[in-house]
Amino acid sequence: MHYQPNGGWVELVCGSMFSGKTEELLRRVRRAEIARKKVQLFKPAVDDRYGQVRVASHNGVVREGALVVNCAAEILERLDPQTQVVAIDEIQFFDAEIAGICDELADRGLCVIAAGLDQDFRGEPFGPMPVLMAMAERVDKLHAICVICGASASRTQRLIDGQPARYDDPIILIGGSESYEARCRKCHAVPGKPE
């Protein structure tokens, strides 16, 4: 979290799976709390991998007490008037309205810290992420390590029965290391992807 003397702003932490996005989000939440800021942490209802009200990184960093919402508009409905920092995990799963809501919160003087996948398993922009990346005051793109060659990984490889998922498979499939791997551009494969 960075202090902006003029009021609100939006920070976006993005990258592939296993790059440390949620861990970084929770680190920034802790820093805001140390600075005695009132923080609310939101997550989409679709992500129930670690329990409904728990935000957890793949490395085991856990935070209880997240507010689970079904759509972006619900963030505004559940916003405490005393809140100064809004943190949103897995922001790529929200509807397109999320970008406007983040913008509105920043215009109200709040700090918005969001984390999410910038690309889907196909290597294409994920949901609202391109708009969020364009409007945010700060964007940090994190990288994992490619499990095939050890290079810096910017892609998320979905696996089905140990094989790369096909291009026409559903975009959203909630999972962890049993379904996904971090891969570099060279090692990332999507059978059936149009040329």
Instruction: Classify strands 55-56 and 62-63 as parallel, antiparallel or unpaired.
Output: antiparallel
Q: How far apart are CA 69 and CA 156, in angstroms?
A: 25
74 is catalytic: no
Q: What is the CATH number of domain 9-142?
A: 3.40.50.300
Higher pLDDT, 60 or 14: 14
Average pLDDT over every residue of 44-56 = 67
* Whether pLDDT at 65 is above 90: no
Query: pLDDT digit string (tens) for 97-127?
Result: 999 999 999 999 999 999 999 999 999 999 9
Per-domain residue ranges of the chain: 9-142
pLDDT at 127: 95
Query: pLDDT digit string (tens) for 140-173?
Result: 999 999 999 999 999 999 999 899 999 999 888 8
Q: What percent of the chain has pLDDT over 70?
A: 88
Residues in the chain: 195
Average pLDDT over every residue of 90-94 = 96
* Whether pLDDT at 3 is above 60: no
Core vs surface per residue 18-56: b (16+ CB within 10 A) or e? bbbbbbbbbbbbeebeeeeeebbbbbbeebeebeeeebb
Q: How far apart are CA 184 and CA 195, in angstroms?
A: 19
Higher pLDDT, 191 or 1: 191
Q: What percent of the chain has pLDDT over 90?
A: 77
From 11, 23, 64, 90, the catalytic residue:
90
Assign 30 to helix, strand or coil. helix
pLDDT at 50: 52
